[in-house]
Structure 1
Amino acid sequence: MIWMSWRQFRAQALAGALVLGALAAYLVITGLDIRDAHAGYLAQCRATGDCAAALARLVGDYRTRLLLLAGVLGLVPVLIGMFWGAPLIARELEAGTHRLAWNQSVTRRRWLAVRLGTVVLAAMLVAACASALLSWAAAPVDAIAGDRFGTVNFGARALSPIGQAAFATVLGAAVGLLLRRTLPAMALSGLLVLVALFVMPNAIRPHLMPSHHETRPLTAEAIDRAHGLGTLGSAPVLQGIEVEGAWVTSVSELLTADGRPLDPKIFDDCLMRAPKTGATGTFGDSSPCLAAHDLHLDIAYQPNDRFWAFQWLETALWLALTALVFAMALWRIRRTAR
């Protein structure tokens, strides 16, 4: 049974191996290039004594490329769900070849478990290899940038891609079992995996562990360190608030000393009609105008040293979802008409 499953899957496995080989070659070249550049910048900065600026240039040189690679690898579970998971059962049901297996001594559940288990293991292996290669290639930049919790970066490194690949494969197979048509199953599987990959970092990941909290007084200098001034709905907010060595998960709107939201009219006046003070900060006269109202922010964040704890928790959650969908598929296949 295992040998038969492998023979039926070998074409997809070969395609996956070829893609992985090409990706591995590119990541190895990129990783060696980053390490050469890192050594070069260190040699320069030791002569000038300004290593912080030199290493910041290293991050700037490679940030976009690594972000694009992480984005590409982040789509691997979508492709696995579409091209490995969805056709696995749907193709058999659509062509009617499942009847041969179901008329043998092998039970439906065992047939599904072996077919699906073979592909799940292959998908997890591919995801593990791709994740390990990207994590190695990006390690010098990650150590300097400190943004491993970034939405795209976190999901493409370490352990999480392994859980994503397992979930995508089983979800695709379950959708194929329900729809019994290959192309609709592929389309729906890709969409559902994409939704899951969006929901996990935005709605679930920030709450896997209790957040740390900070109340930050908004002096003119603190306001000028933000990336932007704007509104969310009608609520005045500062954009791009950072906590050193941490992943900021939520930032309140601008709050007055008694904890109430700042009046949008006051915010608009400071933004558009601030008294002239000669301030030369990022936001000019707007910063001292806002600071005069004794404002503060409530910030929730996760320290960067929780990275591995979050990786283990998120991977465990992906695998739990995988087990749940697999159990539903086992229940469903007993009720699937021949």
Structure 2
Amino acid sequence: MIWLSWRQFRAQALVAAVALILLLGYLVMLGRQIRDGDYSGAELREHFQGRVYLLDAVPLLTPALIGLFWGAPLVARELETGTHRLAWNQSVTRRRWLAVKLLLVGFAALVAGALVSASLTWAASPLDQFTGDRFSTIFFGTRNLAPAAYGIFALVLGVVVGLLIRRTVPAMALTLLVLVVTQTLTPNLVRPHLLPAEHMSAPVTAEVVRNLSFLGQQPEISGLKVPGAWVISTSELRTADGLRVGADAYGKCVAGSFDKAADCLGALNLHVDVDYQPTGRYWTFQWLESGLYLGLALLLAALGLWRIRRAAH
């Protein structure tokens, strides 16, 4: 059974192996360039940040490619072409047939995801240490443990969707849709709450305002950065006595240029209440999110093993 599964999967595996070898070769070269140049932090950002951002797309896309081209066709293609009638009437049970396929292709998905993540993490680590934004949506999902777990989840999701829909192309489309939704909601709705947040009050000085990403017509801010913290949410701007800043005072400040608005708001002695996760929890979050995705993969695998026994010939 293992030999048969390998023969069916070997073409996809060889294509992936060639792509991985090319990618690993480029990342090794890039990592050496970053380390051998004796660059300052600002120079690293200037010379390499663009390339690293482009490479971040690889581990982001890898789970989708695994789910689409390894997972969705794994069972759906057999059902669509009718070859399952022969496979399911041999001495090997349906469950064992599916389990062996899942283990073989799942191991390949794990290796692919781990190699992509580990090589990019190594190559970009000097730049990542300078930027220090390990909890950002892109960096968290493309470094260390999480990408490998995403790949396993995507594979099993594709297999189960293919088993349920029984058509390869629709299964690929639905797999992609679920992955996009999952990878969009998890960083914004799930990840921030894997552990209870800490709370603090942060002063809003003129320098803080200049570094914000948003300053609107209402007394709210976005993009606040606090050293050693991943900011999850901020309150409205508050005065020293804890009350919301008056609309008139705020409106007068933001009516002028941005620099004048920063100086004006800084003079009001404002602060915001902040919910945050300490950056020291990074590895805890990596393990928790990876465990979450692997747990979902196990549940989907159990569903697939249950469903295949009841699938009609």
TM-score (normalizing by structure 2): 0.93
Q: In 2 relative to 1, CA 298–331 (structure 1 residues): closer, same or farther, beyond 3 Å?
A: same
Residue pair 2:208, 2:224 contacting (<8 A) in 1 also: no
Matches within 5 A, 1:1-338: 1-37=1-37, 39=38, 41=39, 54-231=40-217, 235-257=218-240, 259-272=242-255, 283-291=258-266, 293-338=268-313
Letter in 2 for 1:268: G
Paired residue secondary structure (1:217): strand
Alpha-carbon distance between aligned partners in 2 of 1:204 and 1:325, rounded to the nearest angstrom: 19
Q: Distance in 1 between matches of 2:48 and 2:275?
A: 29
Q: CA deviation at 1:264?
A: 4.4
Question: What displacement does 1:306 show?
Answer: 1.8
Shift of 1:291: 4.1
Q: Decide whether aligned partners of structure 1 residues 72 and 104 sit closer, same or farther in structure 2, where only a CA change above 3 A counts.
A: same
| CA 242–157 in structure 1, closer or farther in 2 if over 3 Å, else same | same
Deviates more, 1:107-116 or 1:6-15: 107-116
Structure 1 moving runs of 4+ over 6 Å:
none
Q: Percent identity?
A: 53
Cα distance in 1 for residues equivalent to 2:130 and 2:112: 28
Deviations 1:49-99 (A, max 9, x none): xxxxx3222223222211221122211101110000000000000011111
Query: How far did 1:266 drift?
Result: 4.0
Partner amino acid for 1:25? G
Q: What are the superposed Cα offsets for residues 147-178 of structure 1, whole Å, 9 maximum, x if unpaired?
A: 12221111111010111010000000011001
In the alignment, the residues of structure 1 paired with residue 32 and residue 45 of structure 2 have an alpha-carbon distance, to the nearest angstrom, of 15
State the shift of 1:252 in Å: 2.2
How many Å separate the matches in 2 of 1:265 and 1:324?
Answer: 55
2:70 is matched by which residue type in structure 1? W
AA paired with 2:100? V
SS of match in other structure, 1:334:
helix
For the residue of structure 1 that corresponds to 2:273, the secondary structure is: strand
The code of the aligned residue for 2:309 comes to R
Partner of 2:135, secondary structure, is coil
CA distance in 2, matches of 1:221, 1:165: 41
Cα distance 1:270–1:123, how it changes in 2: closer, same or farther (>3 A)?
A: same
Look up the SS of the partner of 1:75 in the other structure: helix
Q: How many residues align?
A: 313
Letter in 1 for 2:13: A
Q: Please provide the CA RMSD for this pair.
A: 1.9
Which deviates more from structure 2 when the two are superposed, residues 300-309 or residues 125-134?
300-309
